[in-house]
Amino acid sequence: MRNMNKLMLALAVVSLLAVPASAVDITGIATSGGKPVPNVDVVLNRLSDDKIQFVSGTKTQDNGEFAFSSLSSGMYLLNVTYSGATYSIPATSSKRIEFRFDGSVRGTVIHNVSKQNQSGVSVALKNEEYTAATTLTDASGKFAFDKVALGNYTVEATYMGVPYKETISVNGNATVDFAVYNSTRDMSVITVPVAHIIMNQGSGGIQVMELVVFQNTGDKVFYDPDRAYFGTSVPKDITNIRTSIMDCCLKVESGRISGDPMDPLMPNGTFEFQLEYLFTPKSADEIMFNKEMLFDTASVSVLASRSSGLGIESKTAFRDTYDMGGQKYDLLMYENLKKGEALDAKIAGYKPQSSETQWLEYLVPVIGLAIIGAVAYPFIKRRLPAKRSSRRAVRAAAVRHDTHAVAEDRGEDIVDIEETEHAGEHAGDTTTADTATLSGLIARKKMVFGQLYDLDKSREKGEVSESDYKEQRKEYRREILELVKESRAMVANLDLTLPLNEIESVIKEADSIDALEELLDRERSGDDREEVTLMIEDRIEKIESEA
């Protein structure tokens, strides 16, 4: 039903853009190798009220053409069947439709642990949310779809009940390979490496924003077709709940909110759950935030905005304060909590606010995730395993490129780092590439640029002495260089033997062209896999287009 709704919405947009008329014509042609293909079955359906209604059927003529005339305006779905496959496409009178059967899709299914090719695996070629064709892998684990109409598809291999999906564009001969795992429904393999909570005082209560990262620590893919809910405990007195999960996959219970990731969770793969709500304590006296761990949890950070009047205390957590962009936060850090343990966070300073401070409720959703990523990074970093860097020396020009790109993107002053010409060389020990860590590092880098920008503005206004300005600027520059060096090293040293989905997740977070080019050189001199080189090249192009 969700797929149908998507298609109906897409067709509605197309229909609105079409020129209104009392009668419309839908025409097209089928070709292969530049020659017309006759006798191809063509079926026209009308989409109405979430239903597919047959309108008419025909075959292509000797010249490969087909036509449906004198149709009432509306939303249609055109199905064309050729060489055992049926292709579906939204249809209006706005343009002539061409089916070019000049493509092919081939690939192999291999077990990621045993490295053995898998026979008898069902593989589907999907087009416009519909299955165009299916096949099984042969004795050598290979599959093929020939005479495929050019266009965009999802290729889906199902192994042990788990769907593995890849989106491809077929402009000729396309290749897509799948690395599959044994599967499990055992929740004991799921842990929480990182959880972050931010509290701000607003009108009507305490605005709370949470980010919880779930990770599959086993060697099997976690998947439950009957739904598996990953949850986090919440106070009972909450309202205005908003999450990153669609309503169909959300479960709200007293003291707990859970979401179904829907997709399989690969070994070492992560699923992020974002949550916002308004906490309305019954009393302003002693407010305990007794959050119970539903999974073994490596790290929890809790931040309370002192600027909004809140404070936070604990007898067991590491406590500190944090200053970011003029906003001060109390920080609690908990580590290595077992399932069933609870935070002992005590909230102080809560006072229901007037409508004049209601802006905080709108500010938090906008900046909350950036704050979470930036603040969390130093604490994530220190608990990750380290490995020796094997990459070649980083050029100083590359370091300058990274810092300039981020600064220009924010419209900020560019940091002068000429005197650190060799700051990026020999990165030494570096943390292993991890999506949550890398995104947090990049967020922190942008945040420090923001602090540097604020410092320069404060100096212009005479709000900071020259000696304090120089000292703070020097510290910000040092941290920026360190962050640039670490983010580049993470990408450049990415373990290319990791599963493709993990490699892709890190590449998507990378923001350094030079590090990506270095990674590309390593891949080309090694396995030289087309799918990996395309991932890297696409990311480089995207960074260049956004510069």
Contact by Cβ (8 Å): 406, 350:
no
The residues pairing with 130 across neighbouring beta strands, listed in sequence order, are 127
Of the candidates 346, 351, 208, 353, the one whose C-alpha atom is nearest the C-alpha of residue 284 is 351
Give the 3-state DSSP-derived string for 320-368, with helices as H, strands as E and coil as C: EEEEECCEEEEEEEEEEECCCCECCEEEECCCCECHHHCHHHHHHHHHH
CB atoms within 10 A of CB 522: 19
Residue 154's H or E segment, with its range, is strand 151-159
518: helix, strand or coil: helix
Is pTM beyond 0.75 here?
no
Number of residues in the chain: 547
Contact by Cβ (8 Å): 324, 372:
no
Examine domains 2-100 and 187-376 and report if their fold is the same: yes
The residues pairing with 42 across neighbouring beta strands, listed in sequence order, are 58, 80
The residues pairing with 303 across neighbouring beta strands, listed in sequence order, are 198, 331
Q: How far apart are CA 436 and CA 256, in angstroms?
A: 24
Structure tokens given for 500: 């493709």
The pLDDT value recorded for residue 2 is 45
Torsion region of 517: left, alpha or beta (phi above 0 gives left; psi -120 to 50 gives alpha): alpha
Q: Alpha helices of 109-201 — where are they, by DSSP H?
A: none
Give the type of residue at 120.
G
Residue 343 sits at φ, ψ, to 5 deg, of -70, 150
Q: How far apart are CA 534 and CA 167, in angstroms?
A: 13
453-457 long-range contacts (CB < 8 A, ≥24 apart) are 453/410, 453/412, 453/413, 454/325, 454/326, 456/413
The pLDDT value recorded for residue 334 is 93
Contact by Cβ (8 Å): 540, 516:
yes
Domain at 103-180: CATH architecture: Sandwich (2.60)
Question: Domain spans of the chain?
Answer: 2-100, 103-180, 187-376, 386-546
Question: In CATH terms, is domain 2-100 a member of 2.60.40.1930?
Answer: no
* Burial class (CB within 10 angstroms; exposed 0-12, middle 13-18, buried 19+) of 505: buried
Residue 458's H or E segment, with its range, is helix 435-460
Q: How far apart are CA 235 and CA 197, in angstroms?
A: 13
Give the 3-state DSSP-derived string for 471-508, with helices as H, strands as E and coil as C: HHHHHHHHHHHHHHHHHHHHHHCCCCCCCHHHHHHHHH
Radius of gyration of the chain (CA): 28
CA distances in angstroms from 302 to 73, 183, 338, 446, 467, listed in the order given: 56, 34, 17, 21, 34
What is the CA 253 to chain-centroid distance, rounded? 26
Q: How far apart are CA 200 and CA 272, in angstroms?
A: 22
State the DSSP code for 171: S
Q: How far apart are CA 494 and CA 522, in angstroms?
A: 10
Give the type of residue at 100.
R
The pLDDT value recorded for residue 3 is 52
Of the candidates 432, 436, 535, 499, the one whose C-alpha atom is nearest the C-alpha of residue 266 is 499
Give the type of residue at 451.
Q
> Which CATH code is given to the segment(s) 187-376?
2.60.40
Q: How far apart are CA 63 and CA 30, in angstroms?
A: 9
Q: How far apart are CA 355 and CA 230, in angstroms?
A: 35
**Strand runs labelled E in 171-313:** 173-175, 178-180, 183-184, 190-202, 205-216, 221-222, 230-233, 238-243, 250-253, 256-259, 270-279, 287-289, 297-305, 311-313
Q: Which portions of the chain are predicted below pLDDT 70?
A: 1-22, 93-94, 324-326, 352-447, 450, 546-547
Q: How far apart are CA 331 and CA 255, in angstroms?
A: 23
Token pair 């087009």: residue? 127
The pLDDT value recorded for residue 427 is 37
CB atoms within 10 A of CB 291: 24
The pLDDT value recorded for residue 302 is 92
